[in-house]
Structure 1
Amino acid sequence: MFDDLRRKFETDGYVVIEGFFAQNEVEEMRKQAEKLIEHMPDESNRTIFSTTDSEGQQNKDKYFLDSGDKVSYFFEAEALGPNGELLVDKHLALNKIGHALHELDPVFRKYTLDERVKEAVFQLGFEEPIVPQSMYIFKNPGVGSEVTAHQDASYLYTEPLKLAGFWIAVDDATIENGCLWFARGSHKSGVHRRYIKNPDPDSEQRLVYTSPPPFYAKNNFVAVPVPKGSCVLIHGQVVHFSEANRSQKPRHAYTFHVVEQKNTQYSKDNWLQPGQRPFLNLYKN
């Protein structure tokens, strides 16, 4: 399973491991997400999540900024009315749940701390890995929104940079339902921009990008469809995106990020900061 893992990761910026989790294991993740849906907030606390609007609500919304050590719910723009009322069935309304599932939810914590995860992290050369965030991403049929081209390091920056994402396919991810696309080798071009806490205390925007979005030509990207149960390992600097899901099939995924703690500095400008507890240490749990 782990043959040539680090070489492929460092060459291409991503690695696909099919069969990383068994079918019944990803189904347990799906069922746990369904249980979480039963505890969704009422209309007054519903927050839209979007990657296509840099002036969007999450930039101004304290709910987003304070979600790092909680289980928080983010809705699709097309799923809510002007007063937060649901326009679609609640099981189709969510963009994602984040950002502390790996700590606070027993099912997602179990799979984050799985020995297969630890072995993959070890093979990538991490010595003191910590997990700052996790998300269950829905990308539901018909309403699952686009995720624009980006680098994960824009959001979870360290010096020197050592960041890897684990993206677990809960469904078959296809071109039709919004699989990942990668610009192979783009992780060798540095961090293109940062997403940071706004240094201007008088601004309404709590979080800002340090520069406008770069232009990425689509012909530089390759689609990476994967079967259910696969793990896609994502280098922190590789540029990737996913298109909207306009198909009739879901494309759920569980994802979390690992950063190196040894001899690195986690940026104090990052939107996500440790709460009352330090970030989860992968090897010590």
Structure 2
Amino acid sequence: MALTPEQVEAFHRDGYLLLESFLSHSQCDALLKRTYDIIAEADLNLHPTTTFSTRRDEESQHVKTDYFINSGDKIRFFFEEGALDGEGKLKGAVDKSLNKIGHALHALEPEFQKVALGERMGELARSLDLQKPAVVQSMVIFKQPHFGGEVNTHQDSTFLYTSPMRLYGVWIALEDADLENGCLWFAPGTHTTGIGRRMLRTVKDGRIELKFEGEDPRIDPQRFVPVPVKKGGMVLIHGEVVHKSEENKSKRSRNIFTFHMYDAGRSEWSKDNWLQPTEQLPFPHIY
């Protein structure tokens, strides 16, 4: 999966790149099967019903919880806000209520590890001239039918900051992602404007807390373009490009596998990031 010079040029120009057929349909099906097996095998009585939201403030429930902050070397479950009733209980089946599973699928689950740390990713990383690419987190993100949540405009480096900026997202459609069920939208070229907002890891009274500083760039809505992706397609995302996705109001799910990597050979991982390597799980290198 080495990129051509034209593809590398397009990525650096736009801040994103669509690669069709990165995975076969059978590979996508294997990842989906393992995802639902993980859900079926889990004792969710041991997991709080923590919801995940992309609201731009500390009112988002996950920002306040140790369950989220300490999930970097584990597999944990985060639910859609619309999936809970007034008492915080699930309205429906678990597998139809999740927003995402994260954040160490790439290290703890062989099916996902083969993709995130495999030879094809190595070829792609070499095409980008990455010296020491390290995978820092991975997720299956669900867009549930009818109420799969909107993801507000954001930059990935708001949450995962490196100096200098050498963060890259890999977003793989396990099912068709289109205008009806919540495909990605990008504002091309916005990766050249820098980071306006940071999520920062702080310690208060001996407890880790997260807070936001700064503001997101103001982008004309007309600049955004949709990027539909067929099952198995992949979108490479620059850490600073502004992007979003809409709510899924269709009858179809839009499930994806995504992970982030950075060049540990040419940039420094911020100690202020919410996500930090641990003794149990140092960030694994692709090569």
**1:131 touches 1:281 (CA, 8 Å); kept in 2?**
yes
- Tell me the TM-score normalized by structure 2: 0.94
- Equivalent residue, structure 2, for 1:227: 230
Structure 2, unaligned stretches of length 5 or more?
A: none
- Equivalent residue, structure 2, for 1:261: 264
User: Residue type matched to 1:223 in 2?
Assistant: P
- Equivalent residue, structure 2, for 1:248: 251
- Equivalent residue, structure 2, for 1:46: 49
Q: What is the number of equivalent residue pairs in this alignment? A: 282
Once residues 169 and 128 of structure 1 are traced to their aligned partners in structure 2, the CA distance between those partners, rounded to angstroms, is 26
Once residues 148 and 205 of structure 1 are traced to their aligned partners in structure 2, the CA distance between those partners, rounded to angstroms, is 25
Once residues 206 and 162 of structure 1 are traced to their aligned partners in structure 2, the CA distance between those partners, rounded to angstroms, is 25
Q: CA deviation at 1:145?
A: 0.2
Q: CA deviation at 1:36?
A: 1.3
When structure 1 is superposed on structure 2, of 42-51 and 57-66 the one drifting more is 42-51
Q: Between the two proteins, what is the percent identity of the paired residues?
A: 44
SS in structure 1 at match of 2:72: helix
With over 3 angstroms needed to count, the CA separation of the structure-2 counterparts of 1:112 and 1:181, relative to structure 1, is same
2:134 counterpart of 1:130:
yes
- Equivalent residue, structure 2, for 1:24: 26
- Equivalent residue, structure 2, for 1:103: 107
**Cα-to-partner distance string for 1:158-201 (whole Å, 9 max, x where unaligned):** 111101110000011001100000000000001111111135x1
- Equivalent residue, structure 1, for 2:12: 10
**1:52 touches 1:146 (CA, 8 Å); kept in 2?**
no
RMSD: 1.7
SS in structure 2 at match of 1:280: coil
Q: CA deviation at 1:203?
A: 10
Q: CA deviation at 1:43?
A: 7.7
- Equivalent residue, structure 2, for 1:181: 185
**2:158 touches 2:199 (CA, 8 Å); kept in 1?**
yes
Structure 1, unaligned stretches of length 5 or more?
A: none
Deviating beyond 4 angstroms after TM superposition, the runs of 4 or more aligned structure 1 residues are 202-205
**1:5 touches 1:123 (CA, 8 Å); kept in 2?**
no
Once residues 255 and 104 of structure 1 are traced to their aligned partners in structure 2, the CA distance between those partners, rounded to angstroms, is 15
With over 3 angstroms needed to count, the CA separation of the structure-2 counterparts of 1:203 and 1:83, relative to structure 1, is farther
**1:168 touches 1:255 (CA, 8 Å); kept in 2?**
yes
- Equivalent residue, structure 2, for 1:116: 120
Once residues 68 and 204 of structure 1 are traced to their aligned partners in structure 2, the CA distance between those partners, rounded to angstroms, is 17
**1:92 touches 1:143 (CA, 8 Å); kept in 2?**
no
Once residues 184 and 13 of structure 2 are traced to their aligned partners in structure 1, the CA distance between those partners, rounded to angstroms, is 18
- Equivalent residue, structure 2, for 1:192: 196
When structure 1 is superposed on structure 2, of 126-135 and 83-92 the one drifting more is 83-92
**Cα-to-partner distance string for 1:122-141 (whole Å, 9 max, x where unaligned):** 11110100001000001111
Q: CA deviation at 1:112?
A: 1.1
**2:131 touches 2:266 (CA, 8 Å); kept in 1?**
no
When structure 1 is superposed on structure 2, of 14-23 and 88-97 the one drifting more is 88-97
Once residues 44 and 235 of structure 1 are traced to their aligned partners in structure 2, the CA distance between those partners, rounded to angstroms, is 33
**1:60 touches 1:204 (CA, 8 Å); kept in 2?**
no
Once residues 180 and 165 of structure 1 are traced to their aligned partners in structure 2, the CA distance between those partners, rounded to angstroms, is 13
Once residues 12 and 199 of structure 2 are traced to their aligned partners in structure 1, the CA distance between those partners, rounded to angstroms, is 24
SS in structure 1 at match of 2:44: coil
- Equivalent residue, structure 1, for 2:152: 148
